[in-house]
A = this chain, B = another copy of it.
């Protein structure tokens, strides 16, 4: 059965809430409480989770740890993922220093830049390689995910090179809508879209019932 990608996109949010609940020592959770925490309806929660089998017990809700383990397994969060970073300017350095990746199983294992002054530098455990050697380097030491932190103009050629290197999941921080072949997943970190959906509510002077955080 094909699972809609909007459902897949919500699963990491469910996993995060369940992780919080587990840390708070809560053992069971109802679809009502999950829904309240995520600003979605309990019916939506039950429908989303029904794609993956029967987790809940009638009238008792979900076992937090069991559902969390199951979601982690489904999402592939029970393993480590290797990432390669292209672009080691200000943004790339901020990404290298981002504390949120490694606790979640995402590790940057290689970095590339085109600037002669940056190539060869060591940042933490990572040595910056020449982006001209990207394909050779990634064939020798593959990564699962490419992170693109170059300028808008350079983003598409860099993404093309990552795809030629066999990378099939790319996170693009450049402020440009890039293209990738159908077998490649390309996600964009786009703060402007987040800002633009806030301005609606600023302009209209209210906050709606359900703004995802």
Contacts and interface: CB of A to CB of B under 8 A. Distances in A.
Q: State the number of copies, please.
A: 2
Which of A5, A93, A186 has the most chain B CB within a 10 Å cutoff? Answer: A5
Contacts of A6: 210
Given A91-B94, A99-B175, A213 B187 contact: yes
A16 B177 contact: yes
A23 interface: no
Contacts of A196: 11-12, 15, 75, 77, 104
Given A171-B191, A189-B191, A191-B171, A199 B98 contact: no
Given A182-B207, A189-B189, A207-B183, A200 B100 contact: no
B94 A199 contact: no
A157 interface: no
A109 B119 CA distance: 34
A66 interface: no
Given A15-B196, A16-B177, A191 B100 contact: yes
A132 interface: no
A99 B176 CA distance: 10
Nearest to A90: B94
Which of A93, A101, A178, A213 has the most chain B CB within a 10 Å cutoff? Answer: A213
A168 B2 CA distance: 40
A20 B131 CA distance: 30
A152 B170 CA distance: 25
Interface string A132-151: 00000000000011000001
Interface in A62-112: 74-77, 81, 89-91, 93-95, 97-101, 104, 106
A128 interface: no
